[in-house]
Amino acid sequence: MKYQIEGGSLPVLIVNLEVGEKLITEGGAMSWMSGNMKMDTSSGGGVKKVFGRMFSGESLFHNIYEPIGKEGMIALASKFPGAIKALEITPDKPVIIQKRAFLACEPRVELSVHWQKKIGVGLFGGEGFIMQKLSGNGLAFIEIDGYEKQYELQENEEMIISTGYLVAMSASCSFNVRSVGTVKNALFGGEGIFNAVVRGPGMVIVQSMPIGNLMHGLSLKK
């Protein structure tokens, strides 16, 4: 499988598949493709996974594309100005992503629901109780709102992240919440009551323009 990401801040993922290769995509992600591409729709693992995706806000079914007879091409455009990022998933390095970030992956990558076990994290962490987990072995592609920045946290190194700005983290990282401090900070600081705290070791990816924050900002200007 060969791919390129074009378009700058209005990105599109263009994937070329050889005969026998397949690409799994989020439902409705296809923008254009060559005439020899075949699509099949799958629940990706039965009723349990369908309900998990429903609660995570993702499409209930995934589409599987493969070329017939010769090499084929499929393009997946981002739904929002930002970035598309390729992640190399390996059995020893699964990745947790925000809900709705998944775009596509190779068949050997498994997408599953990741539940936040701590009530405080689910209520105040900004990502809700449900995130998504990428595991297995292969390439996966995620959508990022705005500019993306990646960090590598060392053992017990922490990063404090405001609501909505966390895109992805290694499964080796821990995720918790922390209050902004005093009552004065919470009431007048403009940063809410809680921030997310990610602790290493592992990768952390943050984004500069969460859709929710953008919509809120636009509503204030009306």
Measured between alpha carbons, how far is 164 from 172 in angstroms, rounded to an integer?
20
Q: Is pLDDT of 210 > 70?
A: yes
Higher-pLDDT residue of 101 and 192 is 101
Residue type, 35: G
Write out the DSSP string of 89-142.
EBTTB-EEE-TT-EEEE-TTEEEEEEE--SHHHHHHSSS-SEEEEEEESEEEEE
157-176: average pLDDT: 93
Of 109, 112, 77, 107, residue with least CA distance to 7: 77
52-66: average pLDDT: 69
Higher-pLDDT residue of 9 and 187 is 9
pLDDT tens, residue by residue, 82-91: 999 999 999 9
Architecture category of domain 2-220 in CATH: 4-Layer Sandwich (3.60)
Q: What pLDDT, on a 0 to 100 scale, did the predictor assign at position 88? A: 97
Measured between alpha carbons, how far is 91 from 104 in angstroms, rounded to an integer?
18
The token pair at 158 is 């922490």
Q: Kindly report the backbone phi and psi dihedral angles of residue 72, in degrees, each rounded to the nearest multiple of 5, phi listed first.
A: -125, 165
Q: What pLDDT, on a 0 to 100 scale, did the predictor assign at position 183? A: 42
Least confident among 36-50, 77-91, 135-149: 36-50
Question: Taking the alpha carbons of 194, 200, 206, 211 in that order, is the dihedral positive or negative?
Answer: negative
Residue type, 80: F
pTM of the model: 0.82
Q: How confident is the model at residue 134 (pLDDT cuts 50, 70, 90)?
A: very high
Q: What pLDDT, on a 0 to 100 scale, did the predictor assign at position 187? A: 39
Please, what is the end-to-end C-alpha distance for the chain in angstroms? 46
| Domain edges within the chain | 2-220
Measured between alpha carbons, how far is 10 from 130 in angstroms, rounded to an integer?
27
Q: What pLDDT, on a 0 to 100 scale, did the predictor assign at position 190? A: 43
